[in-house]
């Protein structure tokens, strides 16, 4: 498309052209009236793929999944403050994952906002808690520069960069395309600190590495495996690590448990815990008489690389300093026999582990079912595993959509509980519309089962009122009907044999599919 003169280009066109020039070519959108100038500009700007979403939490969650698998920023387009508010839950998850998202939010025209129209709100106030960068555009001639700075900020932190664009800044002419701006790379770590950590690892009796972020991709894990072979260090990752490459043939990493007392038991006896792109572990919630900090007494916790540091370079330097010794650990293939009979989290996990295709993407929001089945997948064929990083439910289905868009040649499997699926069930429509190759497994226990666990741990009595509040059986959710109503083929299974048959079929057939697992 030939370039437009500045006097002919709207602000909306300059923003889109600047995003494309900076490598942002996918936008997950739920626009409204204040964003119509951006919708119109899509037909005049090549290179931007718009992906419609029926709910803003789907758009923000899909953007998170896209950037985790592509390694490149994605954009969102949301409608004013209420639209941003609908997307905040998954922007919270994206912030915890350090996912680079350019979050474009429409605003009333500058000339109109003074009259306090009904949708007026403090958009910047909504955006700040989840954003590393917040700016409200003021001038059409500067909107391209604002967009370039937002992309650079999203890449640099990395994290969510929110750009708020008043309608008249978007529809006015005089826009200018800005060149991509330099992103600040991850910070390095003082070589003297790395050398001291290497010495401590070699002298420790029972050392361990706790890793997250970029440290959990295949190449860095090879470096961690060399360190483990030379020092005897055990390898752990956060319970909610953003992305982990794992499976047969890869360096195995043990995921820390959800419950705090289990973490303390797992790390018991560790005299040195080296943290690479990870923070010291803490409990999800406070409980009477239980600690919040989960580093065992007597364990030295050494945070060698913070979450925004260059942990990959740290691992490379550590591996060189500790030298060679022993064989790098490898995960053995452990495909169980297909089970028969009742459908439980364990039998479902055995079926998934046995049939999981190589190089697929597993998106995990299985909650209580995952406590049993996710560890089993460690011995499955090699795959990418994406976790729900911020603890806010409703990420699984949208994230699977974004991950599949980023990797169209790979099968994506979404593991979700019935309760968590209902937060953003509208994502099924996006899966159908975009014909995404996603198999969604809904673990139906007909309750917010994790809250039943938490109620017991608090020591509170579970009477009929509490049970009724946490149950999902009156009426029972019918995911086959919900999925078919949004254009996705669906089935319901009640035995392990039936599940194996349906999963085989779904894995062999391109396109979206839902299998509801009625757990006994």
Question: Smallest Cα–Cα separation from 127: which of 174, 169, 80?
Answer: 80
pLDDT truncated to tens, each residue of the chain (520 aa)? 455 555 689 999 999 999 999 999 999 999 999 999 999 999 999 999 999 999 999 999 999 999 999 999 999 999 999 999 999 999 999 999 999 999 999 999 999 999 999 999 999 999 999 999 999 999 999 999 999 999 999 999 899 999 999 999 999 999 999 999 999 999 999 999 999 999 999 999 999 999 999 999 999 999 999 999 999 999 999 999 999 999 999 999 999 999 999 999 999 999 999 999 999 999 999 888 899 999 999 999 999 999 999 999 999 999 999 998 889 999 999 999 999 999 999 999 999 999 999 999 999 999 888 888 889 999 999 999 999 999 999 999 999 999 999 999 999 999 999 999 999 999 999 999 999 999 999 999 877 767 776 777 777 667 777 777 777 777 889 999 999 999 999 999 999 999 999 999 999 999 999 999 999 8
Phi, psi of 216 (to 5 degrees): -100, 10
DSSP labels, 312-366: HHHHHHHHHHH---SPPP-PPP--PPPP-SB--HHHHHHHHHHHPPTTEEEEEE-
270 neighbors 206 (Cβ within 8 angstroms): yes
DSSP state, residue 180 = P
Q: Which one of 3.40.190.10, 3.30.450.40, 3.40.50.970, 1.10.3720.10 gives the CATH number of domain 345-518?
A: 3.40.50.970
Q: CATH 3.40.50.970 spans which residues of the chain?
A: 11-171, 345-518
Q: Give CA separation, 350 vs 171, 247, 371, 491, 504, in Å.
A: 55, 14, 13, 19, 13
DSSP labels, 187-203: BP--HHHHHHHHHHHHH
Q: Which fold has domain 11-171?
A: Rossmann fold (3.40.50)
Q: Is 224 exposed, middle or buried (0-12, 13-18, 19+ CB in 10 A)?
A: buried
List strand residue ranges (DSSP E) for 38-176, in order.
49-52, 74-78, 101-107, 133-136, 160-166
pTM: 0.95
Q: Which fold has domain 191-322?
A: Rossmann fold (3.40.50)
User: Which residue stretches of 98-156 are H helix?
Assistant: 110-113, 123-127, 143-156
């Amino acid at each position: 498309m030939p370039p437009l003169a500045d006097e002919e280009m709207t602000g909306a066109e300059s923003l889109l052209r600047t995003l494309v020039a900076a490598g942002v070519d996918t936008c997950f959108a739920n626009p409204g009236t204040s964003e119509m100038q951006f919708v119109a500009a899509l037909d005049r700007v090549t290179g931007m793929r718009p992906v419609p979403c029926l709910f803003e939490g789907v758009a923000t969650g899909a953007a998170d999944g896209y950037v985790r698998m592509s390694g490149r920023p994605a954009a969102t387009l949301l409608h004013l403050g209420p639209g941003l508010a609908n997307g905040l839950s998954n922007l919270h998850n994206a912030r915890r994952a350090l996912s680079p998202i350019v979050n474009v939010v429409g605003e009333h025209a500058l000339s109109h906002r003074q009259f306090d129209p009904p949708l007026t709100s403090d958009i910047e106030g909504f955006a700040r808690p989840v954003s590393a960068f917040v700016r409200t555009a003021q001038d059409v001639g500067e909107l391209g520069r604002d967009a370039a700075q937002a992309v650079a900020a999203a890449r640099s932190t990395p994290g969510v960069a929110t750009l708020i664009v008043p309608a008249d800044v978007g529809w006015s002419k005089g826009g200018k395309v800005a060149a991509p701006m330099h992103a600040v790379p991850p910070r390095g770590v003082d070589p003297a600190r790395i050398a001291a950590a290497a010495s401590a690892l070699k002298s420790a009796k029972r050392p361990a590495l706790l890793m997250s972020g970029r440290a959990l991709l295949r190449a860095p894990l090879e470096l961690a495996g060399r360190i483990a072979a030379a020092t005897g260090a055990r390898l752990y990752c956060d319970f909610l690590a953003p992305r982990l490459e794992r499976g047969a043939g890869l360096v195995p990493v043990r995921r820390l448990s959800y419950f705090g007392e289990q973490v303390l038991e797992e790390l018991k006896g560790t005299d040195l815990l080296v943290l690479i792109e990870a923070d010291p572990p803490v409990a999800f919630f406070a409980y009477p008489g239980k600690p919040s900090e989960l580093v065992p007494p007597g364990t030295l916790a050494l945070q060698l690389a913070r979450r925004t540091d260059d942990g990959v370079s740290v691992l490379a330097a550590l591996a060189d300093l500790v030298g060679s010794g022993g064989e790098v650990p490898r995960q053995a293939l452990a495909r169980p026999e297909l089970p028969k009979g009742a459908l439980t989290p364990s039998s479902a996990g055995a079926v998934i582990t046995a049939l999981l295709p190589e190089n697929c993407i597993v998106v995990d929001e299985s909650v209580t079912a995952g406590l049993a089945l996710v560890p089993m997948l460690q011995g499955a064929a090699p795959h990418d595993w994406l976790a729900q990083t911020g603890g806010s439910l409703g990420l699984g289905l949208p994230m699977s959509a974004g991950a599949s868009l980023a990797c169209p040649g790979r099968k994506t499997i979404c593991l979700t509980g019935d309760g968590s699926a209902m937060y953003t069930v509208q994502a099924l429509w996006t899966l159908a519309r975009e014909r995404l190759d996603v198999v969604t497994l809904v673990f139906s226990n007909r309750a917010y089962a994790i809250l039943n666990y938490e109620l017991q741990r608090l020591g509170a009595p579970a009477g009929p009122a509490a049970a009724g509040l946490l149950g999902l059986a009156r009426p029972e959710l019918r995911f086959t009907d919900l999925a078919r109503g949004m254009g996705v083929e669906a089935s319901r299974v009640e035995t392990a044999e039936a599940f194996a048959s349906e999963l085989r079929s779904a894995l062999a057939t391109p396109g979206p599919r839902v299998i509801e697992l009625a757990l006994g």
